[in-house]
Amino acid sequence: MSNACGVDFGTSNSTVGWIRPAHPTLLPLEDGKDTLPSVIFFHADDPLVSYGRAALTDYLAGYEGRMMRSLKSLLGTSMMDDSTEVMGRPMPFRTLLAHFIGELKARAERAAGTAFDRAVLGRPVYFIDDDPQADRLAEDTLREIAAAAGFKDVEFQFEPIAAAFDYEATMTREELVLVADIGGGTSDFSLVRLSPERAAKTDRREDILANGGVHIGGTDFDKYLSLASAMPYLGLGSSLKNGKAMPSGYYFDLASWHTINLIYTRKAWAHVMDNYRDAADTVPLDRLVRLIKERAGHWLAMQVEDAKIALSTQDATAVDMGRIAPGESLEITRPQFDDAIGKLVTKIETTVQGLLRTAGIGADAVDTILFTGGSSSVPVLRQRLAALLPAAKNIEGDRFGGIGSGLALDARRKFA
């Protein structure tokens, strides 16, 4: 055994894998579960910091504090060198990410009973679309953050390639596989030749025909579903008395995890109240005002996320809005969801078409589509990707653990 692990630091969930005989690859990180939601909650009244499901529980229980989620989406952006206010003090975003990855490392070491000083970290094919310099900066930044968290030797692997390695361990014959990794922040694709014989090779570069990706993932699906359903319920698209449209800026802030807290500033509150006085219909703004007073922005985002998950298996779902509108609920339908994310799915579809052109491969040559990542279950996305490759069989990978397991296999190869 090696003291090298595979770390899947995800936008929504994270895992750590370690190869050892007669044991599961993924290590338990929270209450026996091998996923740790990528969430931190800083309590206002004491120095306690909660992580993962505990962080979400504390926030929903009404404890005063600051919750941070979707931290990975900051990599490669200008915000990465900024700070955020945590309990009245500025905290650099780099420090915030190092806090979480350090906790991830510590939990994995407790579960394994050994220290990990070497790791293969997963990364999207592109942290930032169409900007190679920003993409390199994002990887360098993540390497520095991993070092600050205690990893002495860090390598990287594309997340869809890691998922391919995990699937390859189950194969009996060679296949040309399109790995479709639809995560919380990115959609990544790799076209790979896999087989039991190829799995024994240490250098797999010639087996990788093409990689591609786009900065669209589950949090974007949440955002556009929110803008199409929850935000109109709060007044988006309504009119002022002078006939002009209600300003939309704070609705877009509320629809994105990392900007929700902007709605709680004095400036935002003054802006909302100015528009309240000028609104032709104040009923939806009454809900918005109550949401701000209750600081319920993250609660609403979680309600929308739950609706998205429900619509993967149901035609409609009812969202309880009792916290901001007692006795009310909001119905959201599958067609409404499909329409809300239609342009995003088209961009993902275009990315796959470009990948096939880059590889010089016809659609009928692909044997298998391997779906992985927490957002790969969205029906309209699956249907449209499957239609691109009608001869390929569709395989459901380990949506939440496959990348971590594949990274562990890669860590064994790289650090054996």
pTM for this entry: 0.86
Please count the residues of the chain: 416
- Report which of 142, 154, 143, 160 is spatially closest to residue 76, judged by C-alpha positions: 142
Q: How far apart are CA 58 and CA 70, in angstroms?
A: 17
Percent of the chain with pLDDT over 70: 100
Position 247 pLDDT exceeds 90: yes
Residue 53, both tokens? 């499901």
pLDDT at 59: 86
pLDDT at 131: 86
Contacts of 30 (CB under 8 A, 6+ apart): 36, 51, 52, 53, 54, 107
Q: How far apart are CA 117 and CA 99, in angstroms?
A: 16
Contacts of 395 (CB under 8 A, 6+ apart): 167, 368, 369, 370, 371
pLDDT tens by residue, 324-341: 999 999 999 999 999 999
Residue 403, both tokens? 């990348």
pLDDT tens by residue, 202-241: 778 889 999 999 999 999 999 999 999 999 999 999 999 9
Q: Cα–chain-centroid distance for residue 269? A: 29
Quick one: average pLDDT of 356-385? Answer: 94
The alpha carbon dihedral of 227, 264, 52, 136 has a sign of: positive
Position 345 pLDDT exceeds 70: yes
Position 84 pLDDT exceeds 90: no
Quick one: average pLDDT of 58-74? Answer: 86
By mean pLDDT, which of 236-245, 351-360, 407-416 is the weakest?
Answer: 407-416
Position 416 pLDDT exceeds 80: no
Position 261 pLDDT exceeds 90: no
By mean pLDDT, which of 123-127, 202-206, 317-321, 324-328 is the weakest?
Answer: 202-206
Quick one: average pLDDT of 234-255? Answer: 95
CA distances to 124, 328, 341, 371 from 331, rounded to whole Å, are 34, 10, 17, 29
Confidence of residue 1 (pLDDT cuts 50, 70, 90): low
- Report which of 95, 104, 94, 99 is spatially closest to residue 137, judged by C-alpha positions: 94
Position 87 pLDDT exceeds 80: no
Higher pLDDT, 263 or 200: 263
pLDDT tens by residue, 152-172: 999 999 999 999 999 998 999
pLDDT at 98: 93
pLDDT tens by residue, 134-147: 889 999 999 999 99
Calculate helix-pair angle for 297-310, 283-294, nearest 10 degrees. 110
Cα angle for residues 223, 135, 308 (degrees, 5° grid): 20
